[in-house]
Amino acid sequence: MARSLLHSIAIACSAASLALAISPGFPYGSEKVRGVNLGGWLVLEPWITPSLFDNTGNDAIVDEYTFCQYQDTSVAQSTLEAHWASWITESDFEAIAAAGLNHVRLPIGYWAFEVGPGEPYISGQLPYLQKAVTWAGNHGLKVIVDLHGAPGSQNGFDNSGQRMDYPTWHSNSTNVARTDAILKTIADMFKDNPTVVPIIAPLNEPAGFDGSDVLSVIKQYWRDSYGNIRYPYGSSQQSNTLVLIHDAFQPLSYWDGFLTPSDNGAQGVAMDTHIYQMFTDAGNAMSDDDHIQSACAQKSSLAGFDLWLIVGEWTPAMTDCAKYLNGRGIGSRYDGTYPGSTAVGSCTGLTGSASTFSSSFKTFLRKMWEAQAIAFESAGAGWVQWTWKAENADEWTYQAGLQYGWIPQNPEGYEYPGICD
């Protein structure tokens, strides 16, 4: 008994002193992360900017890969450059800071760094990544640099750059080696600026749901990324940059102990989980009260995890009604236009411009926003909403939420503080 108590004290002490050995650019764990994603900027997403896709007049253009492949390169390039220069500017960083947020998460694709032979991708995003970091610094915001697309696609989603039925990143060691090299580049770019870039996410949403082949590659990739991000100066000197790994759609218990201090002394690692309720038929069919209860239930289901836990994507939207949300040319489960789905109701008034939203829908969005912010702050290290702006899906955007009042001007300004009690 006494011996095991001493033993646990010794472990606790070494964990505590390890935790002190680095000084992150943000007090993760004591101050809550409150942030927003800059989706659809440096990685195109058809549902965030449907006009860019519709303007091509080509239905085969469904992601950034085909955007560059199936139209004249100079047209694709000039469209992308105009988009990068206008979709997000310094005034967005100013507005994000004014809304009381402290982080932005910035998705970027591997093709910003390196395009392989035969790949149609157009690069030119890096100057905007650099500008974003400067603008964030100007307004006191922290940037999570998030590698959102890897060679071969890590999940087959259009937001990885390339939509496909079965992703091919994990099954090809050349793809993984290229991604490792890009992570080294990213870590090197920001290793001396942890105040503005305190944390790097080595890969968004790898397809752990495809099974153990993917999971074993991912676990090794997270370990290699740990080395690349935490030791960018070589093996003797650590950086102050945190590594934000994603749960690969596994239950948190799957990751118990992984890259914690008890795992070879690892430190400076945080876990990213994404929480959406609208990508199943059952989720779309839930009542408003069930959606709120499901959000509140995260208060206990996310609690007690052994790494800093950040909910890096979530939204007050509870239907898949937004045009192209499931992919360009694919319909919605909610209104039954998605293959195999059963209609719950009409999407009219539930997506698009908030000027068409009823006051009861806006009240529901407010409750959903608050229930999730409360649950995620109670259980974990904070949250980053998806996403700051979209052309025509206001139910998803922080910007419209602020404008139309379902997101508080100050993220602590709850109207329903007891919603999860």
Ligand X SMILES: *[C@@H]1O[C@H](CO)[C@@H](O)[C@H](O)[C@H]1NC(C)=O
Catalytic residue among 205, 370, 377, 395: 205
Q: Which residue in the set 151, 194, 401, 408 belongs to the binding site for ligand X (CB under 6 A)?
A: 151
CB of 120 to ligand X, least distance (A): 13
CB of 149 to ligand X, least distance (A): 13
Should residue 32 be labelled a site residue for ligand X when binding is judged by CB under 6 A?
no
Compare residues 118 and 339 and give the one whose CB is closer to ligand X: 118
Q: Contacts with ligand X in 75-134 (CB under 6 A)?
A: 116
Q: Helix, strand or coil for residue 37?
A: strand
DSSP string covering 177-225: HHHHHHHHHHHHHHTT-TTT--EEES-S---GGG-HHHHHHHHHHHHHH
Q: Contacts with ligand X in 157-196 (CB under 6 A)?
A: 172, 174-175, 178
DSSP string covering 80-123: HHHHHHHSS-HHHHHHHHHTT--EEEEEEEGGGT---TT-----
246, 311 contact by CB (below 8 A): no
Task: Give helix then strand counts, H and E, for the chain.
Answer: 12, 8
Catalytic residue among 64, 313, 377, 395: 313
CB of 172 to ligand X, least distance (A): 4
CB of 32 to ligand X, least distance (A): 39
CB of 81 to ligand X, least distance (A): 26
Compare residues 150 and 384 and give the one whose CB is closer to ligand X: 150
| 391 has catalytic annotation | no
Cβ-based neighbour number of residue 362 at 10 Å? 18
Report how many residues bind ligand X under the rule CB under 6 A: 7
| 415 has catalytic annotation | no
Residue with smallest beta-carbon separation from ligand X: 172
Tell me which residue has tokens 């870039």: 197
Give the span between the Cα atoms of 379 and 376, in whole angstroms.
5
126, 186 contact by CB (below 8 A): no
Least Cα distance to 387 among 376, 399, 374 occurs for 399
The CB-side HSE value for 288 (13 A sphere, CA atoms) comes to 12
Compare residues 17 and 174 and give the one whose CB is closer to ligand X: 174
Compare residues 116 and 417 and give the one whose CB is closer to ligand X: 116
Compare residues 91 and 172 and give the one whose CB is closer to ligand X: 172
Compare residues 111 and 404 and give the one whose CB is closer to ligand X: 111
Give the span between the Cα atoms of 238 and 283, in whole angstroms.
43
What does the block give as tokens for 134? 């400067």
CB of 188 to ligand X, least distance (A): 21
What does the block give as tokens for 329? 């040319």
Per CB under 6 A, residues contacting ligand X are 116, 151-152, 172, 174-175, 178
Indicate which residues carry an active-site annotation.
205, 313
